[in-house]
Copies of this chain bind each other. A is one copy, B any other.
Amino acid sequence: MSRDSRAVPFAASVPVAELVERAQAGEARAVARLISMVEDRSPSVREVSAALTPHTGRAHIVGITGSPGVGKSTSTSALVTALRAEGRRVGVLAVDPTSPFSGGALLGDRVRMQDHATDHGVYIRSMASRGHLGGLSASAPQALRVLDAAGCDVVLVETVGVGQSEVEIAGLADTTLVLLAPGMGDGIQAAKAGILEIGDIFVVNKADRDGAASTRRELRSVISMTDRPDGAWKPPIVLTVATTGEGIPEVVREIAAHHAHLDASGELTGRRLARLRREIEALALTDVQRRFAHLSGHARLDTLAEEVLAGRLDPFAAADTLVEHL
């Protein structure tokens, strides 16, 4: 699969079933077209999802999170190289929750990923999530489903930006990598943002800098304080220099080890079921929200807001009216 393939769009008339077949055969243009369809929420998104679902469940979804500046992009690129060297098919989904723009021209397709642009075993896609109800939960699972059905062994999901999206990424992934860098005060910030709780593997990148050892020590002490049942996964800490590839093979090994652990313990199924519950719920709530917007008469949202502003109705009673008129 290559970057160039997206330049030639498919005719809109190609049936979904045929697109899915071609995507499964590894045809990059078909993959690109399917992701666009699920991302644009085109009317055929339901048809696409229905056609894809039976072919999913094989890909190992790996989330990559961390504060800006820790080297997420470079690490992602280095991981792609290492996974490709093992002959694995790799997908990359770069999500920018602060950008209203989505699609072909951004992020994942940018310079930093050009090393992989002509590699037919790599599929790279960027998407935005700003403004969607439920943020990432809206389109990202559909895009992951396309990459999964297209035969990717591993899909790396990388956030660009900061904040709650990091926790959302963990919600999408089987395995979550938390990246830190020495001397950025990341230890405390990470604890604050709760990303220590979501990390399955911790990577201290830029380990050639001062402070890598103390960042590792600090992390290790936090990790050791967490109560874990017997047999539970204990998050390893790997030191890397993503720019040179140092430590990357160990990250790849830990990713595989975590997958094996999830599989053996039954946790893989548990995580995926939890993810599907959230996805189904988010889709249903989006549908309900759309229905709210179409109510008329005294159940119109505008009318209800005016009544509350005038002090004639309280917001809970207004909400009841909405739900009753669904």
Contact = CB atoms under 8 A, between A and B. Distances in A.
Contact of A54 (B53, B57, B305, B311): B311
A291 to B, nearest CB: 8
A265 to B, nearest CB: 17
A160 B57 CA distance: 39
Contact of A284 (B52, B162, B309, B319): B319
Nearest to A324: B284
Contact of A162 (B45, B54, B163): B163
A191 to B, nearest CB: 10
Interface in A285-309: 285, 287-289, 292, 301-302, 304-306, 308-309
Chain A: interface secondary structure?
helix
B315 A276 contact: yes
Interface residues of A, number: 58
Nearest to A280: B318
B281 A289 contact: yes
Interface in A38-58: 45-46, 49-50, 52-57
B280 A285 contact: no
A292 B284 contact: yes
Contacts of A54: 311
A210 to B, nearest CB: 21
A267 to B, nearest CB: 14
Given A273-B309, A301-B277, A305-B277, A194 B319 contact: no
B283 A316 contact: yes
A323 interface: yes
Contacts of A304: 276-277, 280
Nearest to A313: B53
A18 interface: no
A222 interface: no
A253 interface: no
A256 interface: no
Given A163-B164, A269-B309, A301-B280, A46 B316 contact: yes
Contacts of A273: 302, 305-306, 309
Interface string A156-184: 00000111110000000000000000000
7 contacts: A49-B316, A98-B192, A277-B302, A281-B319, A283-B316, A284-B292, A288-B323
Interface of A: 45-46, 49-50, 52-57, 97-98, 130, 135, 141, 161-165, 192-194, 269, 272-274, 276-277, 279-281, 283-285, 287-289, 292, 301-302, 304-306, 308-309, 311, 313-320, 322-323, 326
